Structure 1
Amino acid sequence: MTSNKCFDFSLRMFVIFVVALTIVLPTSTLAAEDDSEDFSLTIMHMNDTHAHVEPLPNMLTAIKEVRAENPEALLLHAGDVFSGTLYFNRFKGQADLSLLNMMDFDAMVFGNHEFDLGSGEDGHQSLAEFVTAADFPFLGTNVDFSADQFMSDNINADAFTDSPDNGSVYDGMIKEINGEKVGIFGMTTEDTANISSPVNVKFLNYIAEAERAVSAFEERGVDKIIALNHIGYDSNPDMGNDIQLAANVDGIDVIVGGHSHTRLDEPTFITEDAEGNEKDPTVIVQAHQYAQLLGTLDVEFDENGVVVGHAGQLIEVSEKEADPEAVEVLTSYKGEVDELTNQDTGAMAMKDIPNPRLGDSDVSVRANETELGNLITDAMLAKAKEKNQDIVIALQNGGGIRAAIDEGPITVGEVIAVLPFGNDPVVAELTGAEIKEILEHGVRQAPAESGGFLQVAGMKFNYDSTKEPGSRIVTMEVAVDREYEDVVLEETYLVTTNNFTGKGGDGFDVFAQAYDEGRVRDIGEIDWEQLRDYMVEDLNGEVNPVIEDRIIDLLGEEPGEQEQPEEDNNDDGTQDDTNEEGSEDETDNGKETDNDGSKDEQDNENTDEETNNQGSEDKEDKVDSEKESDKEVSEDSNNEANSGDENNQEKGERLPDTATNMYTFLLFGGIILIIGMGVLVYRKVKLS
């Protein structure tokens, strides 16, 4: 009787699991059918390469490695190939193009610096030559070239095309990838009219033109749309940025960005519109600057063209082997650039102009007023005033000044060595109270060195390093009509600095806030070029800066009682970034940074919460700048623009298919095991 009961139980269990199997199998098949409806797309991207040609052979290797795994991957450039190094000064983009043409780009959008030569050439001859020789098409959805005598011939009459020609400019293009249509359009910042030299080229409203492009694609049955933008991730909201575009224009699935030089180590996922209502997701990516990184984005769409999953990363191209063929192409240009490095600027240093550091001198560029700091800030202020006479103050972080100038003829290479980071000058609108807070932050570590110590022009100030940090500034004066008057805390002043400091580098939270509020704007210059031109044009080639008591540490005394330490003019300034790896500052939050704001290698391994000085190209700084620069700024921007962003990420990311497959495998295995046990019991009962 007991055996029969056991048999009946086993038989019932067998029947139950057979029924379960009939339920699970269709469900599993349906899930597989659902997955088959999804479409995956891989996008490679770069931006703001700024004539940094020498990393491009390594970039080519990285691109080839991605294509080896995914031959259908798109490759997009988000603008600003022009301006930044001697390769551009000499070859006007053609050196870059020789290497870019080896990469098989799908499209490039125009950056603001692509229009830098317009006034000098009475139009955009060099740009037209660059476009014509390109082995890829260009996008200018909101750019009107019709009045430019050189570029008008490159505009294709087929505004939205599915068969783009190389060397032509379109409003949008359609790519077919694995049987699916993908639309791509491109925006250039409207601020180009103010910060570059577009001459007769006009820039249309980016929101209206984006809506036009989305509508054009949807009319053609395209529901997967990419905006290739050079408007900035979180740039001046008055001029528009990627976050605003995602929130204000429906139908954009991916934004590949440039202009703000933002390093987005993780893509930003926007799921709310400008009113806070839920919308279809938009993924935003950007890959920093200077051909240091190749961005990749894997994005998954459902059958309706809605993003349902994404994953992005930034590839350090310096870790890749240089492509041999690309190296050979680069060599044909490098020789002439090396000669230009030794070219005389036409300026003469009347004495050695050191870049002193403590240990070799009684003063430091990172703790005291210096002659070189005065020269650089004077150049910044003079050249910024040529753009806007209302700019009254210039600030330069001491950590960004990297080499001395020897007595005698000054070469181009020397100028670039002094300011090697390629930090574009910006202008910020600040109150007197904010300027005081900025100066307080700059002297918080005095008399110790700090990369954030500020050299100044157009103003002077006294501080007392014996007082508590945050309460050290005693007097502040600004030059008005060559006369100094007190800075008024309630008044507003225009201040120029470099974009590293202007975006909040070195912990300048006031600048970061001003940047987020749209009070910091690029003025379309290159910092080392400002210094070169100032020495030649404004100083008539005779360079002899002096200490002017612009910055005085009172050391507990009353103003006028103390003596300013003399700068060691015999210091040759050789203590450069190659000798700075071990010198560290203690920041307010207790973390340690290198004095230029960048971290040493050990810090990189132990923490990734600090900001480094963007744009460093020196070998010792490369680990820092390529791994950590702008990360903190980017993450803060993401949090402010997308509160609850972590939840957005969760909405956009899917579990891998392997999770479902493993579940099904275990379930089937359990069923088979129980069936086997039932058979075994049955045989045992029968034998008994």
Structure 2
Amino acid sequence: MENKKIYRKFISTAAAAALVASAIALSASAASKFTDVPERYQDAVDFLVSNGANGITSTSFGTDQNIKRVDAAILVANVLGLNTENAPASGFTDVPDRAAGAVNALKEAGITSGKTATSFGSQSSITRGELAVWIKKGFSLKGSTDLEFTDVNERYAKAVEALVANEIAQGVASGKFGVAQNAKRGDFAIFLHRSDAAKGFYELSIMHTNDTHANVASAAKRVTAVKEFRAQKPDALLLDAGDVFSGTLYFNEFLGQADLEFMNYLNYDAMTFGNHEFDLGASDEGHQALADFVTNAKFPFVSANADFSQDSLFDGLFDGGTIAENPEDGKIYNAIIKEVHGEKVGIFGLTTEETAEISSPGSVVFTNYIEEARNSVEMLEAQGVNKIIALTHLGYDDNVEFDNDLELAKQVEGIDVIVGGHTHTKLSGPSFITEGKTEPTVIVQANEYGKFLGTLSVDFDENGKVTAYEGELVDIAAKLEDAEAAAMLAPYKEQIEALQKQSIGVSAEVSLDGERADVRTKETNLGNLITDGMLAKAKTITPATVIAVTNGGGIRASIDEGDITLGEVLTTMPFGNTLGIMNLKGSEIVQALEHSVSQAPNASGAFLHVSGLKFVYDSSKPAYDRVVSVEVKDSEGNYAPIDETKNYFVATNTFTAKGGDGYDVFKKAYEEGRVSEPGYVDYEMFVDYLQQFETINPAVEGRITDEAAN
């Protein structure tokens, strides 16, 4: 579809009113020759006459008369400046020759689809509801307001909201917009005049994904959603806010390359790094999978606060500290500049500093996000860029002790849009941050696991200030698979399905709860089962081991009731963490448990599941002063209070043992040589443990109790 002229509208009704008031009037009022044009309509009628309108007679404009759809089509097409010469035929059989070009152009632009496949309804009057839809689509109106009209159904709601928010239209009476009423020629003139008055501002459209976590199975549906949006917004950017790695068998098998094939096919414009992109850093191969992912990408990466210079795997890939106006595919920059509709758009990236604790970045170093964001904005503005996107993996409202998007918007001027990830937040509509800021910032995030394609359109004034926005999440599950993409997916899917079907020979009598909201906030039967297996394996190596703990952030999915497959286990435990056995004082264990519940009742990946002990805490008390009691199970199965002066052997995964998820107390023990690493992989230990049973029926046993919740 040909790229049409761009029209922009203000959120600010005051600004819209000012534009209307300052619209250029005709040097001689055409309305003056019509005897039925009151003063309130004169400028609008003059405007319409200048765009080809005629009166119904030489002295009467017909202000209070209905306007036919065919006449409305001609004037709307003229005002929008649509290409009426070359648009493909509409297929409507009731359109007179004088209006054919206009109707063709309106249909091609997606403004109207007619009454039926073959009838435009040329001679019928256009209703106020239909006109609202035409105007919203034609002028790309944005803005919403709470409607008190009882006659506005879902079909017309967004259009009427946009017209009312921009002071283009009002209701015909209290509580009634008049959706089904025929539009009068005078009202039509005012609607078009006011809509056109804000013409000439710049629109930027964005599609965005985040935290897809190797959910490749839905990729062909995502392709459909992207193609559909591009059909309406051909120059829309496509951005990813990180965490493509880890989470399903597609990652275990293909290490990101399956995801990348679809990202390349979709022509992503840029991606930033999530913490999970660094999950394999502690493996024998280090970040080889990530380096391969970057190398094979047909798009650039942006990361202003990640320094890859000390990892030789990224030699030639990392161009740290630079702003690239002509970025190369498969390279890492501080920021890039894209030209969209003849305007420069800057995109810089940020990754949570918490990555050092919650993943395995190795020699990749992360610096302060606020400082790097300010530097990036300053460098982009120095190159004449006044439309700036921060592509972030910080979290929408994550712990401000580290970083989050709300704080970034508050602290750093000059960021117009934040496309975020990390907290898996479902922002059904964009957040608009204005408090304490010279210019506003729009924040978006598209939930998780490829469930949605985020879409956003933002209007800017001539100084690069956001004036309006509109965005929504497109439900991927509701889309059909793109045929070409489905063919690409087929060989991957076949390989994964074969792996998923391999039974481990054990059946669960109940569902094993690994839901994110549960394993990060409370005891679950799956958390108990995993730690029981970890403790059993540790005892075969160090018989004196009496406790096992594992972080809830490492449990990624539930396991259904019934036969347990290897695929389910690998989906639940996708990181390949290995066993570590720590020698800790009782006081250090208590300290770790305090950290475990420090964010409660809010979810935290640091929340520990336990075996061999039980503890009580009170989430209503100050953080790090919440643990009420801790008891350790002895060899006879009895519980006794923990001895804070005694040493205990405690099993965990090496990620946590090295200080992951903020466990500094474990990190200290590791650095002091008090952790052994026998090397057993978590999912293998889990399978070995389960295979001693034919069936399992784990339960929540009161190992972890929050007094404030009772």
Class of the TM-score when normalised by the shorter of the 2 chains: 0.5 to 0.7
CA distance in 1, matches of 2:199, 2:687: 65
Among the aligned pairs, what percent are the same residue? 44
Q: Residue type of the partner of 1:311? A: E
Matched, 1:262 2:414: no
Q: Structure 1: 5+ residue runs without aligned partners?
A: 1-10, 358-368, 439-453, 463-474, 489-495, 498-514, 524-528, 554-587, 589-688
Say which structure, 1 or 2, has more relative contact order (CA 8 Å, 6+ apart): 1
What is the Cα-based RMSD across aligned positions, in Å?
5.1
8 Å contact from structure 2 (residues 547, 611) kept in 1: no
Q: Superposition pairs for residues 88-487 of structure 1, below 5 Å?
A: 88-156=251-319, 159-272=322-435, 277-343=436-502, 349=506, 352-355=507-510, 374-378=528-532, 401-404=558-561, 411-415=565-569, 419=572, 457-460=611-614, 478-479=631-632, 484-485=639-640
CA deviation profile, 1:298-334 (whole Å, cap 9, x unmatched): 1111111111111110001111110111111111212
- After superposition, the C-alpha distances for 1:194-242 in whole angstroms (9 at most, x for unaligned) are 1111111111111110001000011011111100001111112111010
Please tell me the residue identity of whatever aligns with 2:685.
Y
Kindly provide the amino acid, as one letter, of the partner of residue 683 in structure 2.
R
Distance in 2, matches of 1:217 and 1:327, equals 40
Cα deviation for residue 354 of structure 1 reads: 2.1
Residues 411 and 552 (structure 1), Cα distance of their counterparts in 2 relative to 1, 3 Å cut: closer
**Paired residue secondary structure (1:334):** helix
Q: In structure 1, how many angstroms separate the alpha carbons of the residues matched to 2:692 and 2:547?
A: 27
Letter in 1 for 2:483: P
Q: CA deviation at 1:339?
A: 2.6
Question: How many angstroms apart in 2 are the aligned matches of 1:326 and 1:142?
Answer: 34
Distance 2:597 2:351 in 1: 31
Aligned length: 458
Give deviations 1:256-276, integer Å, cap 9, x for gaps. 00111111111111112xxxx
- Secondary structure at the residue paired with 1:165? coil
Q: Distance in 1 between matches of 2:227 and 2:361?
A: 35
Q: Distance in 2 between matches of 1:118 and 1:395?
A: 20
Kindly state the Cα deviation for residue 551 of structure 1 after the two structures are TM-superposed. 2.9
Aligned partner of residue 216 in structure 2, secondary structure: coil
Once the two structures are superposed, what CA deviation does each residue of 1:509-541 show, in whole Å capped at 9, x if it has no partner? Answer: xxxxxx9xx99xxx9xxxxx986243257x596
Counterpart code for 2:632: A
* Deviation for aligned residue 1:152: 2.5
The 3-state SS of whatever aligns with 2:380 is: helix
2:686 to 516, 528, 535: 535
Given that residues 320 and 334 in structure 2 are in contact (C-alpha distance below 8 angstroms), is that contact kept between their aligned partners in structure 1?
Answer: no
The answer as to whether partners of 2:550 and 2:609 remain within 8 angstroms in 1 is: no
CA distance in 1 between partners of 2:407 and 2:537 (Å): 32
2: distance between equivalents of 1:20 and 1:383? Answer: 84
Change (3 A) 1:404 1:20: closer
Query: 1-side partners of 2:36 and 2:695: how far apart?
Result: 95
Distance (whole Å) between structure 2 residues aligned to residue 108 and residue 166 of structure 1: 11
**1:41 pairs with 2:204:** yes
Matches of 1:211 and 1:268 in 2, distance apart? 21
Q: Which residue, 70, 86, 93 being the options, matches 2:233?
A: 70
8 Å CA contact 2:213–2:247 kept in 1: the answer is yes
C-alpha deviation, 1:40, in angstroms = 1.0
SS at match of 1:228: strand
Task: After TM superposition, give the deviation of residue 382 of structure 1 in Å.
Answer: 9.4
TM-score normalized by the length of structure 2: 0.55
- How many Å separate the matches in 2 of 1:399 and 1:130? 23
In structure 2, do the counterparts of structure 1 residues 431 and 151 end up closer, same or farther at CA, with 3 Å as the change threshold?
A: closer
Note if contact 1:478-1:484 (Cα within 8 Å) is conserved in structure 2: yes
Gaps of 5+ in 2: 1-31, 48-189, 513-522, 539-545, 578-588, 602-607, 617-627, 644-650, 653-660, 668-679, 704-708
Please report how far the alpha carbon of residue 373 of structure 1 lies from its aligned counterpart in structure 2 after TM superposition.
Answer: 6.6
Please tell me whether the aligned partners of residues 374 and 547 of structure 1 are also in contact (alpha carbons under 8 angstroms).
Answer: no
Letter in structure 1 aligned against 2:314: M
The offset of 1:405, in angstroms, is: 6.0
In the alignment, the residues of structure 2 paired with residue 160 and residue 458 of structure 1 have an alpha-carbon distance, to the nearest angstrom, of 53
Q: Distance in 1 between matches of 2:276 and 2:212?
A: 11
Partner amino acid, structure 2, of 1:479: V
Is structure 2 residue 246 aligned with structure 1 residue 83?
Answer: yes
Distance 1:183 1:104 in 2: 18
Matches of 2:556 and 2:374, distance apart in 1: 44
Tell me the equivalent position of 1:617. Answer: none
> Is contact 2:524-2:700 (8 Å) kept?
no
